[in-house]
Structure 1
Protein backbone atom coordinates (compact mmCIF):
# COMPACT_ATOMS: atom_id res chain seq x y z
CA UNK A 1 0.00 0.00 0.00
CA UNK A 2 1.36 3.41 -0.94
CA UNK A 3 1.93 6.01 1.75
CA UNK A 4 -0.67 8.27 0.14
CA UNK A 5 -3.29 5.53 0.17
CA UNK A 6 -2.40 4.64 3.75
CA UNK A 7 -2.85 8.30 4.77
CA UNK A 8 -6.23 8.47 3.03
CA UNK A 9 -7.36 5.29 4.77
CA UNK A 10 -6.24 6.63 8.15
CA UNK A 11 -8.20 9.84 7.49
CA UNK A 12 -11.28 7.82 6.51
CA UNK A 13 -11.00 5.88 9.78
CA UNK A 14 -10.61 9.16 11.65
CA UNK A 15 -13.78 10.56 10.11
CA UNK A 16 -15.72 7.40 10.97
CA UNK A 17 -14.43 7.37 14.54
CA UNK A 18 -15.45 10.99 14.94
CA UNK A 19 -18.90 10.29 13.51
CA UNK A 20 -19.42 7.39 15.94
CA UNK A 21 -18.05 9.35 18.90
CA UNK A 22 -20.50 12.17 18.06
CA UNK A 23 -23.47 9.80 17.77
CA UNK A 24 -22.76 7.29 20.53
CA UNK A 25 -20.08 8.80 22.71
CA UNK A 26 -16.56 7.51 23.17
CA UNK A 27 -17.37 4.92 25.84
CA UNK A 28 -20.16 3.36 23.75
CA UNK A 29 -17.99 3.09 20.62
CA UNK A 30 -15.63 0.17 20.08
CA UNK A 31 -12.68 -0.18 17.77
CA UNK A 32 -14.52 -3.00 16.06
CA UNK A 33 -17.45 -0.68 15.27
CA UNK A 34 -15.08 1.91 13.82
CA UNK A 35 -13.39 -0.76 11.67
CA UNK A 36 -16.75 -2.13 10.51
CA UNK A 37 -17.88 1.39 9.56
CA UNK A 38 -15.02 1.70 7.05
CA UNK A 39 -15.06 -1.91 5.87
CA UNK A 40 -11.87 -3.03 7.60
CA UNK A 41 -11.07 -5.79 10.03
CA UNK A 42 -10.41 -4.83 13.64
CA UNK A 43 -6.92 -6.29 13.20
CA UNK A 44 -6.19 -3.81 10.39
CA UNK A 45 -7.53 -0.94 12.48
CA UNK A 46 -5.19 -1.83 15.34
CA UNK A 47 -2.25 -1.86 12.93
CA UNK A 48 -3.02 1.80 12.16
CA UNK A 49 -3.97 3.00 15.66
CA UNK A 50 -3.01 2.04 19.22
CA UNK A 51 -6.44 2.88 20.71
CA UNK A 52 -9.90 3.91 19.58
CA UNK A 53 -9.23 7.44 20.84
CA UNK A 54 -6.08 7.70 18.74
CA UNK A 55 -8.25 7.16 15.64
CA UNK A 56 -8.97 10.91 15.70
CA UNK A 57 -5.28 11.81 15.21
CA UNK A 58 -5.42 12.29 11.41
CA UNK A 59 -8.26 14.82 11.59
CA UNK A 60 -6.59 16.77 14.38
CA UNK A 61 -3.24 16.65 12.62
CA UNK A 62 -4.86 17.93 9.43
CA UNK A 63 -5.91 21.17 11.14
CA UNK A 64 -2.47 21.67 12.72
CA UNK A 65 -0.80 20.90 9.38
CA UNK A 66 -2.99 23.58 7.78
CA UNK A 67 -1.63 26.12 10.27
CA UNK A 68 1.95 25.07 9.48
CA UNK A 69 1.28 25.28 5.73
CA UNK A 70 -0.10 28.78 6.19
CA UNK A 71 3.00 29.71 8.17
CA UNK A 72 5.20 28.42 5.33
CA UNK A 73 3.36 30.73 2.87
CA UNK A 74 3.84 33.77 5.13
CA UNK A 75 5.27 36.67 3.09
CA UNK A 76 8.33 38.36 4.56
CA UNK A 77 6.77 41.83 4.63
CA UNK A 78 3.50 40.89 6.39
CA UNK A 79 2.54 40.59 10.02
CA UNK A 80 1.69 36.96 10.76
CA UNK A 81 -1.68 37.90 12.23
CA UNK A 82 -2.67 39.63 8.97
CA UNK A 83 -1.45 36.73 6.87
CA UNK A 84 -3.44 34.20 8.93
CA UNK A 85 -6.64 36.18 8.59
CA UNK A 86 -6.36 36.08 4.80
CA UNK A 87 -4.60 32.80 4.07
CA UNK A 88 -5.51 30.12 6.63
CA UNK A 89 -7.37 27.21 5.04
CA UNK A 90 -7.71 23.45 5.35
CA UNK A 91 -5.93 21.26 2.79
CA UNK A 92 -7.51 20.62 -0.61
CA UNK A 93 -8.32 17.01 0.31
CA UNK A 94 -10.28 18.02 3.43
CA UNK A 95 -13.93 16.98 3.45
CA UNK A 96 -16.57 19.72 3.90
CA UNK A 97 -17.30 18.47 7.44
CA UNK A 98 -13.68 18.15 8.60
CA UNK A 99 -13.44 21.58 10.27
CA UNK A 100 -16.65 20.96 12.24
CA UNK A 101 -15.45 17.45 13.10
CA UNK A 102 -12.19 18.82 14.51
CA UNK A 103 -14.11 21.26 16.70
CA UNK A 104 -16.38 18.42 17.89
CA UNK A 105 -13.37 16.32 18.82
CA UNK A 106 -11.75 19.22 20.64
CA UNK A 107 -15.03 19.89 22.47
CA UNK A 108 -15.10 16.24 23.56
CA UNK A 109 -11.57 16.54 24.96
CA UNK A 110 -13.04 18.51 27.85
CA UNK A 111 -14.79 15.35 29.13
CA UNK A 112 -12.77 12.54 27.54
CA UNK A 113 -9.22 12.13 28.92
CA UNK A 114 -8.22 9.74 26.12
CA UNK A 115 -9.14 12.29 23.46
CA UNK A 116 -7.48 15.06 25.48
CA UNK A 117 -4.23 13.09 25.50
CA UNK A 118 -4.38 12.69 21.71
CA UNK A 119 -5.06 16.44 21.24
CA UNK A 120 -2.13 17.41 23.45
CA UNK A 121 0.23 14.98 21.70
CA UNK A 122 -0.73 16.45 18.30
CA UNK A 123 0.07 19.91 19.64
CA UNK A 124 3.34 18.75 21.16
CA UNK A 125 4.43 17.26 17.81
CA UNK A 126 3.66 20.56 16.06
CA UNK A 127 6.04 22.63 18.17
CA UNK A 128 9.37 21.50 16.63
CA UNK A 129 7.85 21.83 13.14
CA UNK A 130 6.84 25.41 13.94
CA UNK A 131 10.34 26.05 15.29
CA UNK A 132 11.88 24.75 12.04
CA UNK A 133 9.69 27.06 9.96
CA UNK A 134 10.45 30.10 12.13
CA UNK A 135 14.16 29.29 12.23
CA UNK A 136 14.34 28.99 8.47
CA UNK A 137 12.70 32.37 7.99
CA UNK A 138 15.08 34.11 10.36
CA UNK A 139 18.26 32.28 9.40
CA UNK A 140 18.54 30.81 12.87
CA UNK A 141 18.71 27.35 14.39
CA UNK A 142 15.49 25.67 15.50
CA UNK A 143 17.31 24.88 18.77
CA UNK A 144 17.80 28.52 19.72
CA UNK A 145 15.85 29.52 22.80
CA UNK A 146 14.12 32.51 21.18
CA UNK A 147 12.93 30.38 18.26
CA UNK A 148 11.69 27.60 20.54
CA UNK A 149 9.81 30.06 22.74
CA UNK A 150 8.25 31.72 19.67
CA UNK A 151 7.18 28.29 18.35
CA UNK A 152 5.70 27.37 21.74
CA UNK A 153 3.77 30.64 21.84
CA UNK A 154 2.38 30.12 18.32
CA UNK A 155 1.46 26.55 19.19
CA UNK A 156 -0.36 27.70 22.32
CA UNK A 157 -2.18 30.38 20.32
CA UNK A 158 -3.45 27.74 17.89
CA UNK A 159 -4.44 25.28 20.63
CA UNK A 160 -6.24 27.84 22.79
CA UNK A 161 -8.15 29.45 19.94
CA UNK A 162 -9.21 26.05 18.62
CA UNK A 163 -10.46 25.12 22.09
CA UNK A 164 -12.36 28.41 22.34
CA UNK A 165 -13.93 27.87 18.92
CA UNK A 166 -14.96 24.36 19.98
CA UNK A 167 -16.69 25.70 23.09
CA UNK A 168 -18.37 28.51 21.13
CA UNK A 169 -19.84 25.94 18.74
CA UNK A 170 -22.22 27.00 15.99
CA UNK A 171 -22.46 30.58 17.25
CA UNK A 172 -18.90 31.09 15.99
CA UNK A 173 -18.34 31.94 12.34
CA UNK A 174 -15.16 31.18 10.41
CA UNK A 175 -14.46 34.92 10.46
CA UNK A 176 -14.83 34.92 14.27
CA UNK A 177 -12.40 32.01 14.54
CA UNK A 178 -9.81 33.65 12.28
CA UNK A 179 -10.15 36.95 14.15
CA UNK A 180 -9.58 35.13 17.45
CA UNK A 181 -6.59 33.27 16.00
CA UNK A 182 -5.11 36.52 14.69
CA UNK A 183 -5.60 38.14 18.10
CA UNK A 184 -3.91 35.20 19.84
CA UNK A 185 -1.03 35.24 17.35
CA UNK A 186 -0.61 38.99 17.90
CA UNK A 187 -0.40 38.37 21.65
CA UNK A 188 2.03 35.48 21.17
CA UNK A 189 4.32 37.15 18.64
CA UNK A 190 4.09 40.82 19.62
CA UNK A 191 3.67 41.83 15.97
CA UNK A 192 6.33 39.54 14.51
CA UNK A 193 7.01 40.36 10.86
CA UNK A 194 7.63 37.59 8.34
CA UNK A 195 11.41 37.87 8.08
CA UNK A 196 12.37 38.21 11.72
CA UNK A 197 12.21 36.09 14.83
CA UNK A 198 12.19 38.08 18.05
Structure 2
Protein backbone atom coordinates (compact mmCIF):
# COMPACT_ATOMS: atom_id res chain seq x y z
CA UNK A 1 0.00 0.00 0.00
CA UNK A 2 1.39 3.39 -0.92
CA UNK A 3 1.85 6.25 1.49
CA UNK A 4 -1.23 8.37 1.99
CA UNK A 5 -1.26 11.58 -0.01
CA UNK A 6 -2.77 14.83 1.28
CA UNK A 7 -6.15 15.82 -0.23
CA UNK A 8 -5.50 17.55 -3.56
CA UNK A 9 -8.85 18.95 -4.71
CA UNK A 10 -11.00 21.50 -2.90
CA UNK A 11 -13.72 18.87 -2.48
CA UNK A 12 -11.27 16.42 -0.91
CA UNK A 13 -9.92 19.10 1.44
CA UNK A 14 -13.44 20.01 2.53
CA UNK A 15 -14.23 16.35 3.08
CA UNK A 16 -11.08 15.90 5.18
CA UNK A 17 -11.89 19.04 7.18
CA UNK A 18 -15.42 17.81 7.89
CA UNK A 19 -14.13 14.42 8.98
CA UNK A 20 -11.66 16.10 11.32
CA UNK A 21 -14.39 18.32 12.80
CA UNK A 22 -16.46 15.23 13.51
CA UNK A 23 -13.44 13.46 15.00
CA UNK A 24 -12.73 16.35 17.35
CA UNK A 25 -16.37 16.47 18.41
CA UNK A 26 -16.37 12.74 19.13
CA UNK A 27 -13.14 12.92 21.12
CA UNK A 28 -14.44 15.83 23.20
CA UNK A 29 -17.67 14.01 24.03
CA UNK A 30 -15.89 10.74 24.76
CA UNK A 31 -13.60 12.56 27.19
CA UNK A 32 -16.53 13.98 29.10
CA UNK A 33 -19.12 11.21 28.90
CA UNK A 34 -17.33 8.14 27.58
CA UNK A 35 -18.26 6.29 24.39
CA UNK A 36 -21.20 4.41 25.95
CA UNK A 37 -23.02 7.60 26.98
CA UNK A 38 -22.34 9.38 23.69
CA UNK A 39 -24.55 9.00 20.63
CA UNK A 40 -23.79 9.58 16.96
CA UNK A 41 -26.53 12.22 16.96
CA UNK A 42 -24.76 14.17 19.70
CA UNK A 43 -21.45 13.96 17.86
CA UNK A 44 -23.04 15.21 14.64
CA UNK A 45 -24.78 18.05 16.49
CA UNK A 46 -21.55 19.19 18.14
CA UNK A 47 -19.69 19.02 14.83
CA UNK A 48 -22.43 21.05 13.15
CA UNK A 49 -23.32 18.43 10.54
CA UNK A 50 -26.38 16.36 9.73
CA UNK A 51 -26.56 12.80 11.02
CA UNK A 52 -26.60 11.52 7.43
CA UNK A 53 -23.31 13.37 6.88
CA UNK A 54 -21.85 11.65 9.91
CA UNK A 55 -22.76 8.22 8.54
CA UNK A 56 -21.50 9.15 5.09
CA UNK A 57 -18.01 9.31 6.55
CA UNK A 58 -18.07 6.95 9.53
CA UNK A 59 -19.62 3.57 10.25
CA UNK A 60 -19.97 4.10 13.99
CA UNK A 61 -19.41 6.63 16.74
CA UNK A 62 -16.15 4.92 17.69
CA UNK A 63 -14.95 5.01 14.09
CA UNK A 64 -15.37 8.78 14.13
CA UNK A 65 -12.13 9.28 16.08
CA UNK A 66 -10.02 7.33 13.57
CA UNK A 67 -8.70 10.50 11.83
CA UNK A 68 -7.27 11.71 15.15
CA UNK A 69 -5.71 8.35 15.98
CA UNK A 70 -4.26 8.12 12.47
CA UNK A 71 -2.86 11.66 12.47
CA UNK A 72 0.22 10.77 14.52
CA UNK A 73 1.01 7.79 12.32
CA UNK A 74 0.62 9.90 9.20
CA UNK A 75 2.96 12.52 10.64
CA UNK A 76 5.75 10.14 11.61
CA UNK A 77 5.49 8.22 8.36
CA UNK A 78 5.82 11.49 6.44
CA UNK A 79 8.93 12.37 8.45
CA UNK A 80 10.44 8.99 7.65
CA UNK A 81 9.50 9.30 3.97
CA UNK A 82 11.38 12.61 3.82
CA UNK A 83 14.66 10.90 4.76
CA UNK A 84 17.06 10.14 1.93
CA UNK A 85 18.16 6.55 1.21
CA UNK A 86 21.64 6.06 2.59
CA UNK A 87 21.09 8.17 5.70
CA UNK A 88 20.85 5.00 7.81
CA UNK A 89 17.55 3.22 8.30
CA UNK A 90 17.80 2.79 12.06
CA UNK A 91 18.85 6.40 12.52
CA UNK A 92 16.00 7.57 10.26
CA UNK A 93 13.47 5.48 12.18
CA UNK A 94 14.62 6.82 15.53
CA UNK A 95 14.63 10.43 14.34
CA UNK A 96 11.14 10.16 12.86
CA UNK A 97 9.72 8.50 15.98
CA UNK A 98 11.35 10.98 18.34
CA UNK A 99 10.29 14.03 16.33
CA UNK A 100 6.72 12.89 15.73
CA UNK A 101 6.11 12.17 19.42
CA UNK A 102 7.79 15.31 20.70
CA UNK A 103 5.63 18.03 22.23
CA UNK A 104 7.33 21.31 21.28
CA UNK A 105 4.13 23.35 21.54
CA UNK A 106 0.64 23.32 23.04
CA UNK A 107 -0.94 21.91 19.90
CA UNK A 108 1.36 18.88 19.85
CA UNK A 109 0.96 18.35 23.60
CA UNK A 110 -2.81 18.59 23.24
CA UNK A 111 -2.82 15.97 20.50
CA UNK A 112 -0.90 13.54 22.69
CA UNK A 113 -3.18 14.16 25.66
CA UNK A 114 -6.21 13.62 23.45
CA UNK A 115 -4.75 10.29 22.32
CA UNK A 116 -4.18 9.36 25.96
CA UNK A 117 -7.84 10.05 26.70
CA UNK A 118 -9.01 7.93 23.78
CA UNK A 119 -6.73 5.04 24.72
CA UNK A 120 -7.99 5.13 28.28
CA UNK A 121 -11.57 5.10 27.01
CA UNK A 122 -10.70 2.18 24.73
CA UNK A 123 -9.81 0.00 27.72
CA UNK A 124 -13.53 -0.46 28.45
CA UNK A 125 -14.81 -0.17 24.88
CA UNK A 126 -13.99 -3.06 22.52
CA UNK A 127 -15.29 -1.15 19.48
CA UNK A 128 -13.00 1.80 20.17
CA UNK A 129 -10.12 -0.57 20.81
CA UNK A 130 -10.81 -2.22 17.43
CA UNK A 131 -10.55 1.17 15.72
CA UNK A 132 -7.17 1.72 17.37
CA UNK A 133 -5.89 -1.67 16.20
CA UNK A 134 -7.19 -1.07 12.68
CA UNK A 135 -5.47 2.31 12.49
CA UNK A 136 -2.20 0.68 13.52
CA UNK A 137 -2.58 -2.13 10.99
CA UNK A 138 -3.22 0.34 8.19
CA UNK A 139 -0.24 2.41 9.29
CA UNK A 140 1.99 -0.66 9.24
CA UNK A 141 0.91 -1.51 5.70
CA UNK A 142 1.57 2.04 4.50
CA UNK A 143 4.97 1.98 6.18
CA UNK A 144 6.25 -1.02 4.20
CA UNK A 145 7.04 0.85 0.94
CA UNK A 146 8.63 3.70 2.92
CA UNK A 147 11.00 1.29 4.68
CA UNK A 148 11.68 -0.52 1.40
CA UNK A 149 12.71 2.74 -0.28
CA UNK A 150 15.04 3.67 2.56
CA UNK A 151 16.54 0.17 2.62
CA UNK A 152 17.34 0.69 -1.06
CA UNK A 153 17.47 -3.03 -1.88
CA UNK A 154 19.69 -3.98 1.06
CA UNK A 155 16.98 -5.90 2.90
CA UNK A 156 14.74 -8.81 1.92
CA UNK A 157 10.99 -8.25 1.66
CA UNK A 158 10.47 -10.25 4.86
CA UNK A 159 12.92 -8.04 6.75
CA UNK A 160 11.24 -4.89 5.44
CA UNK A 161 7.88 -6.12 6.71
CA UNK A 162 9.35 -7.04 10.09
CA UNK A 163 10.86 -3.58 10.48
CA UNK A 164 7.58 -1.91 9.53
CA UNK A 165 5.75 -4.08 12.05
CA UNK A 166 8.32 -3.45 14.78
CA UNK A 167 8.30 0.31 14.26
CA UNK A 168 4.51 0.43 14.32
CA UNK A 169 4.32 -1.73 17.45
CA UNK A 170 7.00 0.34 19.15
CA UNK A 171 4.84 3.45 18.89
CA UNK A 172 1.61 1.61 19.70
CA UNK A 173 3.02 -0.04 22.83
CA UNK A 174 4.69 3.18 23.94
CA UNK A 175 1.46 5.16 23.65
CA UNK A 176 -0.58 2.47 25.38
CA UNK A 177 1.96 2.25 28.20
CA UNK A 178 2.09 6.03 28.58
CA UNK A 179 -1.70 6.27 28.55
CA UNK A 180 -1.79 4.05 31.63
CA UNK A 181 0.38 6.48 33.59
CA UNK A 182 0.32 10.11 34.59
CA UNK A 183 3.71 10.83 33.00
CA UNK A 184 4.09 14.15 31.21
CA UNK A 185 4.27 14.54 27.41
CA UNK A 186 8.00 15.21 27.74
CA UNK A 187 10.82 13.83 29.88
CA UNK A 188 11.10 10.43 31.52
CA UNK A 189 8.19 8.15 30.71
CA UNK A 190 7.02 10.34 27.84
CA UNK A 191 5.76 8.84 24.56
CA UNK A 192 8.95 9.66 22.66
CA UNK A 193 11.21 8.21 25.36
CA UNK A 194 9.16 5.02 25.60
CA UNK A 195 8.86 4.64 21.82
CA UNK A 196 12.62 4.92 21.29
CA UNK A 197 13.18 2.32 23.99
CA UNK A 198 10.64 -0.02 22.39
CA UNK A 199 12.06 0.52 18.91
CA UNK A 200 15.62 -0.30 19.96
CA UNK A 201 14.53 -3.44 21.81
CA UNK A 202 12.27 -4.70 19.02
CA UNK A 203 14.90 -4.13 16.35
CA UNK A 204 17.76 -5.45 18.48
CA UNK A 205 17.82 -8.78 16.67
CA UNK A 206 18.19 -7.05 13.30
CA UNK A 207 20.54 -4.34 14.45
CA UNK A 208 23.42 -5.50 12.29
CA UNK A 209 21.39 -5.57 9.09
CA UNK A 210 19.39 -2.42 9.79
CA UNK A 211 22.50 -0.45 10.70
CA UNK A 212 24.67 -1.88 7.94
CA UNK A 213 24.13 1.13 5.72
CA UNK A 214 24.89 3.68 8.42
Q: Which deviations, in whole Å up to 9, do the C-alpha atoms of 1:103-159 show, x marking residues without a partner?
A: 111121111101000000000101121111110011239981111111111111111
Query: Counterpart in 2 of 1:21?
Result: 30
Shift of residue 16, structure 1, vs aligned partner: 0.6
| Residue 111, structure 1, aligned to residue 120, structure 2 | no
Query: Counterpart in 2 of 1:63?
Result: 72
Dislocated runs of 4+, deviation >6 Å: none
Q: Is the 8 A contact 2:93 2:167 kept in 1?
A: no
| Residue 152, structure 1, aligned to residue 161, structure 2 | no
Q: TM-score, normalised by structure 2?
A: 0.80
Provide structure 2 residue ranges, at least 5 long, that are not aligned to the other structure.
1-9
Query: Counterpart in 2 of 1:35?
Result: 44
| Residue 83, structure 1, aligned to residue 95, structure 2 | yes
Corresponding residue SS for 2:38: coil
* Structure 1 residues 38 and 173: alpha-carbon distance in aligned structure 2, compared to 1, 3 A threshold: closer
Q: Is the 8 A contact 2:83 2:150 kept in 1?
A: no
Q: TM-score, normalised by structure 1?
A: 0.86
Query: Counterpart in 1 of 2:191?
Result: 177
The whole-number CA distance in structure 1 between the counterparts of 2:143 and 2:116 is: 22
The whole-number CA distance in structure 1 between the counterparts of 2:98 and 2:197 is: 13
Q: Which deviations, in whole Å up to 9, do the C-alpha atoms of 1:3-42 show, x marking residues without a partner?
A: 1121111111111101101111111110000000011111
The whole-number CA distance in structure 2 between the counterparts of 1:135 and 1:85 is: 17
Corresponding residue SS for 2:180: helix
Provide structure 1 residue ranges, at least 5 long, that are not aligned to the other structure.
none
| Residue 6, structure 1, aligned to residue 20, structure 2 | no
Count of residue correspondences: 192
